[in-house]
Amino acid sequence: VVSAGRERTATITDVARAARVSPATVSRVLNGTSEVSADRAERVRTAVVKLAYQPFSPARALRHQRTNVWAAIVADIENPFFTSVVRGIEDGAHERGYRVVLCNSDGDLAKEADYVDVAIAERMAGVVIAMASTRRSNLAPLLDRGIPVVAIDRRPARATVDCVVVDNRAGAAEATAHLIEVGARRIACITGPRGVSTATERLAGYRDALERAGMEVDGALVRREDFREAGGYDAVTALFGGRDRPDALFVANNQMTVGALHALHDRGIDVPGDVAIVGFDDAPWATLTRPQLSVVAQPTNEIGRVAAELLAGGGGGRARTVVLPPKLVIRQSSARPR
């Protein structure tokens, strides 16, 4: 008789009763923790199927004092860079029997702290985090409790945790050097907020390249924005507001690049004729824009997979840092200007 739902969900005791064994035996069969005679095991398996039994994982977690869930806390769930990284984490987690809960801190320290609390309350097995700020961190409560943490993309200033990052400084320097080589003389840099390591490192790389070329770093050509589309738009508006316009742009993340391109278009500024441009992070649509966009591409999937590997390693011993190489992809937006 199939009754219309809503009957009490079967527990291990129900299965035990149906199989005429003890709950302990059911547990042993399900987890393979010790030998069980063939016929009893069979009876258990039949009962499990018949009752559509699903172990209640909070009860397990209560026993084990630990879940098999990882939290991935990222600063912006709508940024394709992060979702792609998360894909990598998921793949790595799946292979190791973990599940991944994706949390969106929105770049907000308080929201991030909330999700850290959640991770603790749930006794999650580990946390992968792209921090809202690398200066002020919410990591201490996790570390105090011995919950393994891997920082991705952004490198915490103080806390010593495993990290997976890209060589931002080198990538930015390469991009800037490329703009110099192509003939640009007034190169602007649109980077992210203070207190986010990627923003700082990419700016440092930009400076490196200018200095190596014997060019002066003009403070008026450096804009700190918020890593969002609007930030890129505003930066371009400011940079092209007066005289002494830049003839090239290095933009330190994907969303700001979108904003910058919109602003350039709105002002009728031609790319790469009037300004050459190189962005950070590749995207599926980067070859659909006219001109096609030159970028510093990051190995997103690998970042996630390596993070999963480190997290599974459990943060034992010294904090490890894995630095992956970015790759300059030259397309049309950085063709020789003028």
Partner DNA sequence: GTGAAAGCGCTAACAC
Partner DNA sequence: GTGTTAGCGCTTTCAC
Could you tell me which stretch among 53-61, 252-260, 297-305, 316-324 binds DNA (CB under 7 A)? 53-61
Rounded CA gap, 239 and 309, in Å? 43
Helix, coil or strand: residue 248:
strand
27 binds DNA (CB under 7 A): yes
Largest CA distance in the chain: 87
**Minimum gap (Å) between residue 29 Cβ and DNA:** 8
The one among 46, 49, 50, 64 contacting DNA by CB under 7 A: 64
Q: Which of 131, 127, 193, 122 is nearest to 158 (CA)?
A: 131
Residues near 149 by Cβ (< 8 Å), separated by ≥ 6?
126, 127, 128, 129, 139, 142, 143, 161, 162, 311, 315
21 binds DNA (CB under 7 A): yes
Rounded CA gap, 270 and 65, in Å? 60
Residue 23: CB atoms within 10 A of its CB come to 14
Q: Which is nearer to a copy of itself, 81 or 240 (CB)?
A: 81
Q: Which does 258 bind (CB under 5 to 8 A by kind): DNA, a copy of itself, none?
A: a copy of itself
55 binds DNA (CB under 7 A): yes
The one among 28, 169, 207, 224 contacting DNA by CB under 7 A: 28
24 binds DNA (CB under 7 A): yes
- The contact set with a copy of itself (CB under 8 A) reads 5-6, 9, 52, 54-59, 61-62, 67, 77-78, 80, 83-84, 86-87, 90, 99, 101-102, 104, 117-118, 120-123, 141, 143-146, 229, 255, 258, 261-262, 265, 283-285, 287-290
Backbone angles phi, psi at 188, to 5 degrees: -95, 155
Residues near 240 by Cβ (< 8 Å), separated by ≥ 6?
246, 263, 264, 267, 269
Residues that contact DNA, how many (by CB under 7 A): 33
Binding residues for DNA, rule: CB under 7 A, are 8-9, 11-13, 20-28, 30-31, 33-37, 40-41, 53-56, 59-60, 62-65
